[in-house]
Copies of this chain bind each other. A is one copy, B any other.
Amino acid sequence: MSVAVRLFGERPYAEVSTTDVARGAGVARGLVNHYFGTKKELYLEVVRVMLTVPEVALEGLPSGGPAERVDAIVTWFLDVVSRHSTSWLAAITAGGMAGDTDVDQVIAEAIDVAAESILTATGLGTDPGEARRGMARAYVGMATYTAREWLQRGVLTRDQVHTLLTTTLLTMVEKVFPQAA
């Protein structure tokens, strides 16, 4: 499994053969199929592992005003993504293997989790409605793009990312969310 995570993290899906994974683990190729089923199922597990993120430290967010809460959640997000930058960004950036249904669903669930965290952190945890959920998912999308500009391209500093994300989220909380049904 660790071999698969490493290989899929550094090479695209099509360029990683199950033979490579097997060789990396020092076993026969048939064994990979025996344990993980098909190649896509293995990749699915890999993506799950990559996207599984420690959700600790999110509960202890300050109970101050919106600005403080937003600041805390953004800080938490940046910590997480910078710690797991390579694998997490690779998985999210993978974006769905050109429209594959299963992989898309796994990624969508990870985005859902992040979006739900956003909503609870901003005080909209209880029944935010589908519209606000969608908006929160869109915000998570921007957050991942921003993180990519920071960690992969290096055109943004962490401070700039922080400012961008806190300012926009605060705007959404104050001006956009109230208008959503």
- On A, residues with C-beta under 8 Å from B are 8, 11-14, 43, 90, 93-101, 103-104, 130-131, 133-135, 137-142, 144-146, 149-150, 153, 155-157, 160, 163-164, 167-168, 171-172, 175-176, 179-180
Bound-state CA distance A99–B148 (Å) is: 13
Bound-state CA distance A94–B95 (Å) is: 6
Q: Once the chains bind, are A93 and B97 in contact (CB under 8 Å)?
A: no
Chain A interface secondary structure, helix, strand, loop or mixed? helix
For A146, give its contact among B12, B138, B153, B155 (CB under 8 Å).
B138
Residues on B with beta carbons closer than 8 Å to the beta carbon of A98: 8, 12-14, 43, 94-95, 97-98, 103
